[in-house]
Structure 1
Amino acid sequence: MKKVVFASLLAFATSTLCTMSATPVALAQDAAGSQSSSITIKDPAEYNAYTNAMGQSAPAAKAAAIEAFLQQYPNTVVKRDMLEQLVHAYQATGDQAKTFDASKRLLQDDPTNLAALTFVVYIEKAQAAGDQAKLDQAAADAAKGLTATKPASMSDADYQKLKDVSTPIFYSTEAADDVAKKDYKDAIEAYTNELKAVKDPAATTQQPLLADTYYLGNAYIQEDPKDLVNGIWFLTRAAQYLPDPYKTNAEKAAEYWYKKYHCAQDDANCQNTLEGFDAIKQLAHDNVFPPDSYKPVAAPPPPSPADLAHKAIVATPDVSKLALADQEYILANGSDEDANKVWDALKGQTSQIPGVVIQATADSVQLAVSDDAKQSQKADFTINMKEPLKTVPAVGSNVTLIGTFDSFTKSPSMIILKDGEEKPTAKAPVHRTARHTSGM
């Protein structure tokens, strides 16, 4: 089985978002237009302060004047309008932090302001950076945005423009939150709604929609049971437009799962040529969603896992000579008799276990060791450490640990080792300079 290593696209998507930090709020504001209605300020001093602030042409000066006005008149009848203008002014200065703060203040006064929600959700998602509580908050705000109603002062056309900008952002944020919680069913629904909300198909060939297309394909692969037909499609679609190295990684992923779905295990020609895959690549290049002509042919039913496991036992009676991947397969899928035969050979043996870190603490490390486990990003080995690790390995890193086989479970498949240790690093040879003496 060909080894395929996924590269995370998260950094790629995040860096692309940072380059367009002002775009969502700018588009949202352009779409929203002016929502100011007839304003009546009875206090002449307040009115003068208002006109002075609104009359400032330089964005920084206007923002400062509005802040001064709101501090002096915190309960003004034009508070909502002034907060909207403050968001505009800060956005024009390019100060993202102050634009975000102003948008949050506007939402306190106008909780369903769609332009403000769009910007707030966009920034909250970007700033979450693995913080589940922050991502949950972004998703909650996204849900508010998706149910927000049209203000009476906004035209249908302007409201639709705003929805066209905000809706994909909201669905993308909900999907990211679902993926973080491993709720792949809801993630698939949210990513699908995001792509369907995009009016121009060409936009899906660019970031951030392109990264979300990849994430949608990956969600189909992560789902239990896997939906390989749709997973292959969206991974292939993303691969058509991603730059390297992300393109190569997405293509390898799509090819890996296509082989799993289409090629019989003993069909070397199919495994090597990927017959029919070029046609899928062309379809995916031209279509966001699978057309009716996308009908990949499934491989004939393979032998049962138990049959394959038994064949491996018959072919190699000395099971200690089987590769670790084959031993793991038999433990997970073989009959009790075959699994116990393998385990009798493994139990108590100390071995080096290389894999990708899925979860780690100082006392225990879970690794994805087999190709299937790596592709699914699920652990199949647990190494319980003999002594707490001084440095806990990062999730996604490749490590090799040493441990003694202790126990295993068939469902879920997990091999557990005890007395884990880090693989010692090779010491560089010490070169000694020969000492020469000379006679007198």
Structure 2
Amino acid sequence: MASIVERPKKSGDSTFQVKWREGGGRTAPGQSEKFGDLESAETFKELVDAHGQHWPPGWVRGAGFVEPETHPNDVPFIDWATRYVDRLTGIDERTHEDYLRELRIHLSLIQHTELSGRVQPATIGNLTQDDVQDWVRAEERGEQDPEDPDTWLRRPADPKSIANRHGLLFCIVQAAVESDPPLRTTNCCKKTKLPRLDDHIVEEMTFLERDEYQRIMSEITDPDAQDLTGWLFGTGMRWGEATALQTQDFNLNATPPTVSVQRAWKKAKKGAPCGPFFLGPPKTKRARRVLALSSAQAQMVRRRVAGQPPEAFVFRTATGKSWRHANYYNRKWLPAVQRAVEKGLSKRPRIHDLRHSHVALLIAAKIPLPAIQIRLGHESIQTTVDRYGHLVRSLDGEIVAAVEVALGAPARPELRVVVGA
């Protein structure tokens, strides 16, 4: 509850200060507003209490209620953002649903702060660079329960998630700049300072050495699960790509044998008639790719596709069905990792870490990053460099040798003897 403190003046008059803590938390920042009479102070106190110990919307400190800024043809930000997402083409229903969830949970937190300090609902026209930066900080910090500091009302977002949401925000604002008529003249997201990604990316990946991978493989007793695990480790393919492979995707008579990545499993919209998953295009255009196979991999595939029709899934469960991530993870992968840990394995890898481990092996074999980019299906070489560039320590010897050659002392010129000098 807000309180009123009387401040006597030397003249005999008094001012009345309304004091409260923002949001009502015991450790929240203190706020105050001054009035010349008790009645005005009591009225304002009631407003603060009615708004949950926050400044009343539209109130400017020291000035009272002020008419909001107006922008011709302006639209509430969340309304414009929703309209932008609903009009996107070339995305599946699951992606559309994910974007709307980001708007509802995260981008809806964006608000506009005027130069006077008054906070206003964000519109597509009043949004500023400072508003975007304030939102990034709020995402990074999260929000704790003022009554229980150990409880999060909204957990801090990781740098990658913030970058992804900022990318969506950038596109939403840019659409307003390019609309007819334009709703903005500039994109306020262009100079946003985002949290660093590098530490986060390195931290979340686990790289398995060959012997560590073998320790986990030895704990997987299901032959079908063994084949799939070996394929993920040996090709670096994404889970959704590997489990969507069909007999028709292989050219086992080529030299070397190859596999073509043409489709991947996608999450469907809730309640979709196709069920929770459906087959769609790979993650990006570059994810459509052809991978060369080793002779051992080709031999395993021949065994699995023998007598199968072209549309048959290559990696199937013992009952002949396609694998589902939760089924494989809970019944095959997680128990195997737990047993390996009990026997001394020091890491707890995820399924996706088989992809990361595949890259580590290629880098250790001095395979160039551009070739790795193509094999993984990364849209940009920058993605490959950002995620795996720190592993290129195996080339240190070659780099040092090249530098020594380049900086080596020049050959000493031969001495010339001039007769009769």
* TM-score of Structure 1 vs Structure 2, range by shorter chain: under 0.3
Name whichever structure is richer in strand by fraction.
2
Name whichever structure is richer in helix by fraction.
1
- State TM-score, norm by structure 1: 0.27
Q: Flag the structure with more relative contact order, 1 or 2, with Cα contacts below 8 A and sequence separation at least 6.
A: 2
Larger Rg computed on CA atoms = 2
